[in-house]
Amino acid sequence: MGLRENAATLAGRPPATDDQAPDEAPRNYAEPDLGDLTADAEGVPAVVAWSRVMGEVRAIGKNQQFDGGRAGRFAFRGVDLALNAFGPACRKHGVVVAPFKVEPQYRDISTKSGGSMRECTVLVTFRIYGPAGDFFETQAAGEASDSGGRSTPKAQSIALRTLLLNAGLVPTEDRDADDAHFERGQAPVRPAVQYLDEIVHPDTSAGRLRQIHYELKQTQQLAVLVTNEVGDEEKVGDLIVRIGKERAAGGGA
């Protein structure tokens, strides 16, 4: 199973069908082809490499169920789901996520049945290394209890899951809980021409170009004609894809 199929499975979406190209994105998550972003992978800084990993892991669904008896049942995203999604993407873009400093705290707690457990609360400082060898640091906390001496690794696993999901800004694709309580008014549509300066600006990243393409697709404006950087009329969707490919070929982020 390829990276995109694996991501689709984790997000709870059906994998690509046989009539799709092997590298085609799922139809409800189709993105413009901006070229090969791994061509310059060895020279990009860690934050850029991490943003490319984020681009690979688009969503992880809450596909695991916890049955806590009287505590109730709930759906969650465990550390294995996060590792299965981020592992291939990190390897693809030369990113290493490593714990650098672990600060645990312990206390003994009593259960309702009269037993005892050891609770561990841990703050972990992670270093995220890029392919060029540089890194940036971030922190995540975890908490777990166990009666058999496993509270520490459990807490560290929770901290790692929290880091990957939070630092990766990974959505669940679940419906927003607030939608059940109120109705939002229709947001005004931003005209395609208002994106033009940002599209042609040399500092606009490939990730932002993808987002603009998605926004214009949602408002059915990809076919709107705009005046491009050389004064010719061009469909705004074609303009985004062309500029994205040009920057990818030139080593842009």
In contact, 244 and 209? CB cutoff 8 Å: yes
Predicted local confidence at residue 248, as pLDDT = 80
Residue 174 has pLDDT above 70, yes or no: no
- Rounded Cα gap, residues 146 and 9, in angstroms: 31
Residue ranges of alpha helices (H) inside 168-235 are 196-200, 206-218
Which stretch of 19-23, 75-79, 110-114, 127-131 has the lowest confidence by average pLDDT?
A: 19-23
Domain ranges of the chain: 3-174, 192-249
Sorting pLDDT into bands at 50, 70 and 90, what band is 86? Answer: very high
CATH class held by domain 3-174:
alpha beta
- Rounded Cα gap, residues 67 and 24, in angstroms: 37
- Give the predicted TM-score (pTM) of the model: 0.54
Q: What's the burial of 72, exposed, middle or buried (CB within 10 Å: 0-12/13-18/19+)?
A: exposed
Sorting pLDDT into bands at 50, 70 and 90, what band is 133? Answer: very high
- In this prediction, residues 101-124 reach a mean pLDDT of 91
> Mean of the per-residue pLDDT values for the chain?
80
Q: What is the pLDDT of residues 197-250, one digit of tens each?
A: 888 888 888 888 888 998 898 889 999 998 888 888 999 999 999 988 888 877
User: What torsion do the CA atoms of 235, 241, 242, 244 make, to the nearest 10 degrees?
Assistant: 140
